[in-house]
Amino acid sequence: MRKFPFSVLAIMLALLMVAAALFIGAVKGSRVEKAQVESALGSLGTVFTTRVETGNNLLTVARRHLPQGDERMAAVARDVQALSSQASLAARTRANTSLEENARALLAILKDSESVQADSRDMAYVTGLLPQALDQSAQWTDVGSYNEAAGAYNDRLNNTFSGLLARLLGQTEAELFTP
């Protein structure tokens, strides 16, 4: 009887383990990276509170000077409502983009309003503190930073060898937000 080739078995076993290590490593690494992207997304959600606060504060001033049914005020109120809701982060991100536009428009209306011009404190809010807070909160909630991180992850997933292995085992792309 011919002797069993143990050396061949050992080499095959070694190759099998190397392949398994490559696949497991690729999936684990990819999962860690995706968790980082998702964690950043979660943090973005918490930073949205500054946008909600800014929107509410703008509405507080606007209510003193504009009629109740004012269209821009209603638009800002809708954005604030959407941002503070439990809606998906994609929906809240859209509301955040919309808030930027509507809040700027409302600030411009308030700045031109006679009653605001007659009230030095509210004028200071409209021309100083509120735009400053809007800028600051926009900077804090910059969706571009998240998109860059998610894009970089997707790029690695699609264009690297370990990314290919991870995709073969079901790893998916991270969500990107477009305004």
Partner 1 sequence: MKTRLLALLLAAFLLAGIFSAQAASALVVSDAANVLDPSLIEGIVDLNRQTEDKLDLSLKVITKHFLGGAQAASFARESLESYPDPDQIILLVMVIGEERYAVSLGRDAQALISQDTVDNLLASAFRTPFLNRDYSGALAAFMTQLAGQLQRASGQALRTDALYSSAALSPQVTPNPIEGFFRQPAQSLDNAQRYQAETEEAQRGYEGLSLWQIALIGFILFRLFGRDRRTGRKRGCGPLGWIFGTWGVSKFFGWRK
- Interface residue with partner 1 among 85, 88, 132, 172 (CB under 8 A) is 132
Number of other CB atoms surrounding residue 169 within 10 Å: 12
Number of other CB atoms surrounding residue 177 within 10 Å: 18
Q: How many residues bind partner 1 (CB under 8 A)?
A: 47
**Binding range to partner 1, per CB under 8 A, among 65-73, 95-103, 107-115, 137-145:** 137-145
Q: Per rule CB under 8 A, is residue 19 in the interface with partner 1?
A: no
- Interface residue with partner 1 among 9, 56, 168, 172 (CB under 8 A) is 56
The CB-of-94 to partner 1 minimum distance in angstroms stands at: 18
- Interface residue with partner 1 among 27, 61, 66, 95 (CB under 8 A) is 61
Hey, is 68 helix, strand or coil?
A: coil
Residues 68 to 127 in contact with partner 1, rule: CB under 8 A = 80, 121, 125
Question: What radius of gyration do the chain's Cα atoms show?
Answer: 26
CA distances, 49 to each of 56, 102, 129, 144 (Å): 10, 17, 17, 18
Buried b (16+ CB within 10 A) or exposed e, 27-61: bebbeebbeebeeebeebeeebebbbebbeebbeb
* Closest residue by Cα to residue 40 from 133, 135, 152: 152
**Binding range to partner 1, per CB under 8 A, among 99-107, 110-118, 134-142, 164-172:** 134-142
Q: Which residues contact 97 (CB under 8 A, 6 or more apart)?
A: 143, 179
> Rule CB under 8 A: which residues touch partner 1?
10-11, 13-14, 17-18, 21, 29, 32-33, 36-37, 39-40, 43-44, 46-47, 49-50, 52-54, 56-57, 60-61, 80, 121, 125, 128-129, 132-133, 136, 139-141, 145-146, 148-150, 152-153, 156, 162
